[in-house]
Structure 1
Amino acid sequence: MEYIELIRSAGLTRYESSAYVTLLENGPSTAREISGLGGVPMGKIYEVMSGLEEKGFIDVQKGRPILYRPIRSSVAFGRYFELKRKRSESELDRLKETIAVINASFPRRIDPLRRERVFVSTVMGKEEILDGYTEAFGEAERSIFIISSRKMMDPERSGYHETVVPLLGELLRRVERGIRLHCIDPGTGLKEIVDGKLLSIGEENLRDAVRERIEIRVVDSEYDFCLVDDTLSIIDVADPLTGSIMAIMKIYDSTFNRRLKERFLDVWNG
């Protein structure tokens, strides 16, 4: 029974798993023998054996009666893995093509980000916060603005290294696609970190283009927020006891976000 459950966990059905284990234990067998020994209903046995043949777990000897022989498990599961991999790649290719068509076809007038309506959501949890930032960066069409205060350098708070630093790879991917990145850094050495990340871009022309779209200024400010275009702002919510980031607020409010943009530019140009 434990082998059957183990095989089921790889993606075979209960009856397929039972029939395959029966063949491994008893060798070449007829459908009726497999049904009796493996507990597979006769009304389903031929469908089950056809599924095992399609997945590469058995050989079939045509005749009267038909005989089924198991493929060695190491070989069968290797073939099964390759079959699943190729199918997954094919499905992903089709999905990629479909998404490209959708993105090219959807009229901008039905884009929810274009609707003038205030919307605020909250995300909690370290991984969820990183996912929230990643999703927000994905909405950028022109620019991403990040400003951090000196309190971010407080090791007790450690917010800077919980958010900005782990997300640099995602930010650079957005910049590679044409987004401009503007950062106000309180003196954490962000520019040096970014320069190190840029070295991983092998093509020199692309590396230079990415570097040209990134501007980092070292300024001691009192503000902490991220702004995606003029559409979305992200505000960190600190734990009142430890000071570490416990949540983020994603705010879709054009009036509020314009005020943040003005304050960012005041600090940037100050």
Structure 2
Amino acid sequence: MVSLRDLGLSSYEERVYRALLNVRTATAEELSNESGVPMGRIYDVLNGLESRDFVHCNPESHPRVYSPIDSEMAIDRLLRNRKRDLEIERTRYENVAAELHSQLGNQPPTDGRFWETRSHDTEIEFVHAQIERFSDATDEVLIVGDSVLAHQFLNVTEPLQSWLDSLENGSIDVQILLSEGLSGEGEQLLELLRDTDQTTPVETRIHSAVTANFDLIDQRDLYLYVTDPFARSRPLGTIHINENILIEELKDEFTRYWREAEPLPETM
């Protein structure tokens, strides 16, 4: 439930102001009883409200009698003050950002959007992170691969299996398009996917023209795998791309190849 505290009043100030709206005029003692604010604090609260022009006081009365300003006027005044404070904060953050740009902006990135995965440790680290990205998808995951993909995923079969098992509720679409030439260790990945196809909405197909490796998550984040020139079955690294036009073109190509592809066979 929203309250005047959301616009800047303290808890005691709100209680006293609301009490005044109910009784219209009251002494400090009466307001203490009406609002539940202790007498030891009531004058400080009233003085604060009076200094901000939220209550008026008749100085001629003894004891002093207080009355509230109109509620619409009070809300509008609080809103203006809140906007002013936010503008001050916005300016402060912009100044901090400008200062940080001057300190850091001229330093070139060490690797841009490229992850080196040639070593075993960096490869394992990246694939674990990629499976987490798959898990965060909200719409679809498209996976295209040949022996490079098989090599990577077979290094992390347990988290891969856990992710595939989590898809039983059908919350996202997963389409996996694999090279027809997978053999050897690739057969282990195919066997895992055969089991998955039977228990989850994951669909795997085979196409003879697949010679590249990439993942596309939610039609927004493209991860393109670069093959090691001296080891065809291993990745050199991965490039993260989020240019919409390129992604749309690649998605169209995927759809065309997907329609031509064959369902995952029982054996290769």
User: Which entry has the higher C-alpha Rg, 1 or 2?
Assistant: 2
TM norm structure 2: 0.43
Structure 1 length as normaliser, TM-score? 0.43
